[in-house]
Amino acid sequence: MKRALLSVLLLAVACSSGSTPQPGPQDAGSTEDSGTDSGSDDAGGTEDSGTDGGSDDAGSTEDAGTADAGDDAGTTGDAGTDAGSGNDAGTDAGTADAGTCAAPAEQPGTDLATRLNTPRRLAVDATDVYISESHSLNPQQPTPGEGQVLKLSRSGGTATPFATGFRAPDAIAVDATSVYVLDLDGLWRVDKATGKRGDLPIDTTLNNVTVGGTEVLPATLSGRDVLVVATGTRWLIRVDTDGSNRQALYTSPSGGQVRSARVVGPDVWFLVAGGTLPGIYRVPLDGNTASARYFATATQVTSLEVTPTHFLLTEGGGGTGRVLKQPRDGGTAEVLATGLQGPLFPVELGGTVYFKDSRAGSTDFLRSVRTCAPGTSDPVGPSGTGPGGLIVDGNTLLYTSQESGTGGAVGRVP
């Protein structure tokens, strides 16, 4: 009897120890913390910019984005080609890193020219880089001045004087035969082969260069070589490269400043800051129809870049400056960077937005937007004084450090 009872007990224990374990609960904490929430919080933070930037003018902007995307497809919009990859990069980074988003490693940059006195703007052609070196921004300096345009071979070497006698050269441009320089005395045309300029500017009225924000853009209209000039004052001007056929494409009401411009297909996009009618504008290059105002809420804009899908804008300063990304077909602008002293010259390269900021002797003068955390920007690496100029040259950024005396420089990244 005892042996039979023991056998029953042993059989019961054996059955219990051989049963299949039940699965435990899911680790809910690990899935909720994996970056999904942090990403959505960041996204909400970036929606506060431009605040309904295109809502007032939504109807007028519909043809801007649709028509112009095709116009840009074959142009030099370095950024436009990579814009999609930039957005993907931000999405993937947040997913892969479970919400972490580290600052990119700084790049030291390479000096191309040093010991310059107030280098401002840049232009490039197939063989050379041209640099406007002001020496002084005093509008009362004598004529001829000490300002000059330097020429630097893209293959390396030393920057040498190309054209001299300017008073405060700012925006410059280059075409197959000439270099065009906007100076205190007006708009000059310089022979590319000899470095000689005419006895007089091709337009003496375009001379408000010490305030910055100017632009000179080569274009072609009905077989003629023309220049579009954002004057930094009330006018957007188109003039033939020999100084003839001058036309005001836009005249702002009193107090407005035409700052920054881009030729996109048959149109010119430009900014108007201040005055009673600020905003982003578009006007046909031929001037046959009036300009149209877009995104009237862009009231403090200072510079502009155009991609096939977006406007890149800078605004404000004094610690509250921002960089914005405004869809061309309307909608709300995205805040790319905040807390800036005086941002200018936004450009896009490889899906990343770069810009200059008003800083002295600091790596903060050249910054990039952190693609995985819009609203955040980081120093690119080189140290210098901003704003100066910034352009995209193929897969490279070219920049100036606008230091006076002998502290100015031109460099590139990478």
Cβ proximity of 227 and 238 under 8 Å: yes
Q: How many CB atoms lie within 10 A of CB 370?
A: 21
* Residues 186-240 pLDDT 10s: 999 999 999 999 899 999 988 777 777 899 999 999 999 999 999 999 999 999 9
| Domain residue spans of the chain | 46-413
Q: DSSP letter string over 332-392?
A: PPEEEEEEESS-EEEEEETTEEEEE---SSBGGGEEEE-TTSTB-EEE-S--B-SSS-EEE
The CA distance from 4 to 71, in Å, is 94
- Looking up tokens 């077989």, which residue turns up? 223
pTM: 0.76
Beta-sheet strands, E only, within 177-278: 178-183, 186-191, 215-221, 224-230, 235-240, 247-251, 257-264, 267-273
Cβ proximity of 400 and 113 under 8 Å: no
- Looking up tokens 């994996």, which residue turns up? 34
Beta partners for residue 264, in sequence order: 267
**Measured in whole angstroms, how far is the alpha carbon of residue 17 from the centre of its chain?**
70
* Residues 308-343 pLDDT 10s: 999 999 999 999 999 999 999 888 999 999 999 999
Residue 67 phi/psi, 5-degree rounding, is -75, -40
82 band by pLDDT with thresholds 50, 70 and 90 = very low
Q: Give 76's contacts (C-beta < 8 A, 6+ positions apart).
A: none
Largest CA distance in the chain: 129
pLDDT of residue 136: 80
What the block records as the tokens of 301 is: 């804009």
Q: Give 262's contacts (C-beta < 8 A, 6+ positions apart).
A: 217, 268, 269, 270, 304, 305, 306
| H-run or E-run covering 30 | helix 28-32
39 band by pLDDT with thresholds 50, 70 and 90 = very low
Question: How high does pLDDT run on average in the chain?
Answer: 80
- Looking up tokens 């006007």, which residue turns up? 283
Q: Which residue has the higher pLDDT, 70 or 242?
A: 242
Of the candidate CATH numbers 2.120.10.30, 3.40.50.2300, 3.30.420.40, 3.40.50.300, the domain formed by 46-413 belongs to 2.120.10.30
DSSP annotation of 241: T
Least confident of 36-40, 113-117, 234-238: 36-40
The CA distance from 88 to 30, in Å, is 24
Q: How many CB atoms lie within 10 A of CB 72?
A: 19
Among the listed residues 150, 267, 165, the one whose alpha carbon sits nearest the alpha carbon of residue 217:
267
pLDDT of residue 45: 36
With a cut of 90, say whether residue 47 has pLDDT above it. Answer: no
Cβ proximity of 85 and 307 under 8 Å: no
The CA distance from 166 to 181, in Å, is 9
The CA distance from 378 to 303, in Å, is 20
